[in-house]
Chain A
Amino acid sequence: MYSEKVMDHFMNPRNVGEIPDAQGVGQVGNPKCGDIMKMYLKIENGVIVDAKFKTFGCGAAVATSSMATEMIKGKTVEEALKITNKAVAEALGGLPPIKMHCSNLAEEAIKAAISDYFRKQGIPTDHLEDLACGRRCDDIHKAREDD
């Protein structure tokens, strides 16, 4: 059900861990839904020089965390903010439809971590509030019922 690339990033996840002196830390998800992603960013002069993550979740959640951290390393925070869940899923060779919501988590974790960085830097984050609202289980349930 998973592509080879997803399985590779699941079995050999890149960038697992924590960054003790991270400039930005973001956590999204909910244990009730079965997935939580926590992302740590080391940012120098507006560039993400290192990214690490810890994830509680399924194969797709781990693989998207791994891929997302790979994708943002070396990018400026502005560039990283433009990374979409779709781009993460595509970089993994696609995800099964029922797992697409896991890729939202990766996008939101990046945004939550950058938002934290902005706050610490005293940079206004008004334009980010909506993006880093954190996904809620109930919303997804509702969205799925509406389908």
Chain B
Amino acid sequence: MRERFVYLDHASTTPVRPEVLEAMLPYFTQKYGNASSLYSIGRESKKAMEEARIKVAAALGAQPGEIYFTGSGTEADNWAIKGAAYANRKKGKHIITSAIEHHAVLHTCQYLEREGFEVTYLPVNEKGLVSPDDVRAAIRDDTVLISIMFANNEIGTIQPIAEIGKIAGEKGVYFHTDAVQAVGNVEINVSGMGIDLLSLSGHKFYGPKGVGALYVRKGVKITSFMHGGGQERGRRASTENIPAIVGLGKAIELATLDMEERNQKLIALRDRTINEVLKRIPHVRLNGDRQRRLPGNVNFSFEYIEGESLLLMLDMKGIAASSGSACTSGSLDPSHVLLAIGLPHEVAHGSLRLTFGEENTQEDVDYLLEVLPGIVERLRAMSPLYEEKEGSQCTVKK
């Protein structure tokens, strides 16, 4: 049996905090009222939802009236982009985004291209950073939206959001940011950063799955997403998922409350992992920026091996991680993010993402460092791309 279980995939999802679950539970069985009903348990649900809205707004430096609850981060991205594009069609049909966005943004933009919009996909540098100058240069008279993610889900690079927001504001173009990976990890202030639209997702910061939110700055024109009842001021119809919304509110409150303390711990885990792996294992590179990265994010490429094999072997040792290899992406191409930062295909196939969370400890890092070098060595010994010569000299056969 497994000796232990070490979860290192917090960018994928996080466990629900016990306090969050506790806050949610009454809304399933006792306080089950529909928030649109006028009797007591209905009013109670409405009140709980509005309290959650205040908490989300407080975490972002927004007004509660600017927060709309959604069914997920993906929904918030879809709504922001399609909503802004359709509502401003008279102004133009041009959208600016980056090559390393999450598929929730990329595939939405591709959909809009089929609908007649034009999309500029800005490149990133080798660290995964978008250049604000590139954003400025890409803006046209008919540009209706700029959508640049706050922090990348794979390589953790944090974008110069405030600078891009400033440019967007000067040019009078709406600025959306997919902040799904950033909320709870990075200080966010929508007014200070010039953000008009921001997407977030509850399960990335110890809240429940199936709930997200979209911040829409007052006065920003977007079309409604769901048509039906008058929920969310008629912008996003459907009976509100009160337990999930309550959970999201509690989670974002806790995540922002102890952010600094948690980040110090996460950065210590992250940096030790980076330093030790680079020291102990040859032919490995760190993907992403060393400093400008999410506190819990580590992303390596191990040359001459393939990511899925690495994940399977880590799983056998009880370590849960992810990879950008084709085999794990469900397609035949490796991650678009790793290709965008210039990695050759074969190096992108050998990527490993480890994302730390608040329950991880230095003992988890010890354990990872104990098993990872052996696994990499074992897979390399099996790889025709790698051949170890006498001594410690390694050569590559091409």
Point out residues on A near B: beta carbons under 8 Å. 2, 7, 10-11, 13, 16, 27, 31-38, 54-62, 98-99, 137, 140-141, 144
Q: Interface of chain A, helix or strand or loop or mixed?
A: mixed
Contact of B332 among A11, A54, A141 (CB under 8 A): A141
Are B309 and A144 in contact, CB atoms less than 8 angstroms apart? no
As a 0/1 sequence over residues 257 to 299 of chain B, the CB contacts with chain A under 8 angstroms (1 = contact) are 0000000000000000000000000000000000000000000
B103 to nearest A CB, angstroms?
17
Are A10 and B309 in contact, CB atoms less than 8 angstroms apart? yes
Q: Across chains A and B, which 7 residue pairs bring their CB atoms closest together, nearest first?
A: A31-B346, A58-B327, A58-B308, A34-B349, A54-B384, A38-B384, A32-B345
**Residues of chain A contacted by B349 (CB below 8 angstroms):** 31, 34
Are A56 and B325 in contact, CB atoms less than 8 angstroms apart? no
**Residues of chain B contacted by A11 (CB below 8 angstroms):** 312-313, 316
A72 to nearest B CB, angstroms?
18
**Residues of chain A contacted by B304 (CB below 8 angstroms):** 56
Are B330 and A56 in contact, CB atoms less than 8 angstroms apart? no
- B96 on the A face (CB < 8 A): no
Are B332 and A57 in contact, CB atoms less than 8 angstroms apart? no
Are B382 and A16 in contact, CB atoms less than 8 angstroms apart? yes
**Residues of chain B contacted by A38 (CB below 8 angstroms):** 384
- B362 on the A face (CB < 8 A): no
Are B382 and A13 in contact, CB atoms less than 8 angstroms apart? yes
- Interface pairs (6), CB distance under 8 Å: A31-B385, A34-B346, A55-B384, A58-B307, A60-B327, A61-B306
**Residues of chain B contacted by A27 (CB below 8 angstroms):** 384
B374 to nearest A CB, angstroms?
13
Are A140 and B385 in contact, CB atoms less than 8 angstroms apart? no
Are B308 and A59 in contact, CB atoms less than 8 angstroms apart? yes
Q: What is the total number of residues of chain B having a CB less than 8 Å from a CB of chain A?
A: 26
- B49 on the A face (CB < 8 A): no
CA distance A59 to B383 in the complex (A): 13
CA distance A38 to B304 in the complex (A): 14
Known pairs A13-B382, A27-B384, A36-B385; A56 contacts B305 (CB<8 A): yes
**Residues of chain A contacted by B333 (CB below 8 angstroms):** 141
- B334 on the A face (CB < 8 A): yes
- B326 on the A face (CB < 8 A): yes
Known pairs A27-B384, A31-B346; A62 contacts B309 (CB<8 A): yes
Are B325 and A58 in contact, CB atoms less than 8 angstroms apart? yes
Additional A-B contacts beyond A11-B313, A34-B345, A55-B383 (10; CB < 8 A): A31-B345, A32-B344, A34-B327, A36-B385, A38-B384, A54-B383, A56-B382, A58-B307, A59-B309, A59-B312
A25 to nearest B CB, angstroms?
10
Known pairs A56-B305, A57-B306, A59-B312; A98 contacts B385 (CB<8 A): no
Are B306 and A35 in contact, CB atoms less than 8 angstroms apart? yes
Are A33 and B312 in contact, CB atoms less than 8 angstroms apart? no
B183 to nearest A CB, angstroms?
31
CA distance A98 to B329 in the complex (A): 11
A17 to nearest B CB, angstroms?
9
Are B384 and A36 in contact, CB atoms less than 8 angstroms apart? yes
Are A34 and B383 in contact, CB atoms less than 8 angstroms apart? no
Are B332 and A144 in contact, CB atoms less than 8 angstroms apart? yes
CB neighbors of A among B364-396 (8 A):
381-386
Are A34 and B384 in contact, CB atoms less than 8 angstroms apart? no
